[in-house]
Chains A and B, each alone.
Chain A
Amino acid sequence: MNHVSIFVLDQDSAYEFYVNKLGFKVHTDAPMGPGMRWLTVCPPEQPDLEITLMKIEDGMMFKSSTADQMKEMVKNGTFGFGVFECNNLLATYEELKTKGVEFTKPPTKEFYGFEALFKDDSGNWFSLGQRK
C-alpha cells in the first residue's frame, strides 16, 4: 500500500498534530487553488506510505449534507483509521501525552498485545501498540 486517507476537519490543525506531535514527515504539500490543498504525511520509518490528510468539504467529493454528516461522525470519534506501532509503548505514551495528545485508553496489557488508544485533533482514533 502506498496511499491511505484520513478525513480531517482542518488541514492546518492536522498538520500540527501529525507533524509536530506525532513526528510524521511531510511528503507532499501542494496548494490546489483557493482553500484547497493536497497534504500527505508519512510515518518516519515508512517514507513510502503516504497518509493523505483529506479535508472534509462539500464539492466534488461530498454533497453538502454528506460533508456535514461526515464532519459530525469524525468529531464524535466514529472512525478508527489504523494501528501504529512503537518500540516502547510506555515511553511513547509519556512523550505524546506531554505533547498534548489525548489518550482514550492508557497502556493496557490485552490478550492480543500491549496497546493504548489515542485521538487525533479531528476525533479519529488510533491504536498504538508495542512491537513484540
Chain B
Amino acid sequence: MIHESYPEFYLYKRIVHAKLFIDSKYSHSIDLNNIADEAFFSKFHFIRLFKKIYGKTPHQYMTVVRIEKAKQLLQTKISISEVCYSVGFGSISSFTGLFKKAVGLTPSAWQLQQQKIKEATLASPLNFIPNCFAEKKGWTKKSNFEEALF
C-alpha cells in the first residue's frame, strides 16, 4: 500500500537498510562500496540519497555511530584503547581527534566528566530532579536512598 502511494519509498527502504547495516556493523571494517552494491546503487547515487535523508554521507554517519558507541562504553571503566578498537577505529590518534572534534573533550576527559556526573547523581539524586516531582513522589531531602546504591 505504501509502495503504491509513494513510489520513492522503494528507494528509501534500501537506504534505510544500508543505514541499519552501518548501525549493526560499525565495529567492523566496512567498505562503503560494498554497502552501495548491496543496496543496488552506484556509489555516487547511494551517497547522494543517503545524505539527502540523513544529512550526512555514509562515512560521516558511520563516524557518528562509532563516537556514540564510544560514549556509551566510556561510561563504564573500559580503557580508552579498548573502547577505540572495539568501536572500529584503527588508531588511538584518529579516535581521539575525531572524538574531540565531535564532543569537545578528549575521550579520557569525557570519561572523567561522566564518572563525576554518575557519582554526583548517586550521591545526591535530588539535585537532578525538579522539586515538584520529588515531593509528589515523597522523595525529600530527609529520605534515605542508600538502599538504591547497592
A52 & B133 in contact (Cβ 8 Å cutoff): yes
Measured CB to CB, the closest approach of chain A to B47, in angstroms, equals 15
User: By the criterion CB–CB under 8 Å, are B138 and A59 in contact?
Assistant: yes
- Cβ contact within 8 Å between B6 and A107: yes
Known A32-B137, A87-B55, A90-B9: A95·B19 in contact at CB below 8 Å: yes
Q: Which of A33, A36, A61 has the most CB of B within 10 A?
A: A33
Cβ-based interface call for A81 (8 A): no
Contact flag A33-B147 (CB < 8 Å), given A60-B137, A90-B9: yes
Q: Encode contact with A along B18-37: 1 for CB under 8 Å, 0 otherwise.
A: 01100000000000000000
In whole angstroms, what is the CA distance A91 to B18 when docked?
A: 11
Whether A61 touches B137, Cβ cut-off 8 Å, given contacts A32-B148, A34-B147, is yes
Asked if A64 CB lies within 8 Å of chain B CBs, one says no
Q: Across the two chains, which residue of chain A brings its CB closest to B145?
A: A33
Asked if B78 is an interface residue, CB under 8 A from chain A, the answer is no
Contact residues of B: prevailing secondary structure: helix
B1 touches A88 (CB 8 A): no
A94 — which chain B residues lie within 8 A by C-beta?
A: 9, 12-13, 16
How far, in Å, is A43 (CB) from chain B's closest CB? 14
The reply on A84 being an interface residue by CB < 8 A is no
Please determine whether A90 and B20 come into contact, CB atoms closer than 8 angstroms: no
Contacts A88-B12, A91-B12; is A31 near B1 (CB within 8 Å)? no
5 pairs, CB–CB < 8 Å, chain A vs chain B: A3-B130, A31-B125, A60-B138, A94-B9, A98-B17
**Interface residues, chain B, with chain A CB atoms under 8 Å away:** 1-2, 6, 8-9, 12-13, 15-17, 19-20, 52-55, 121-122, 125, 128-130, 133, 136-139, 143-145, 147-149
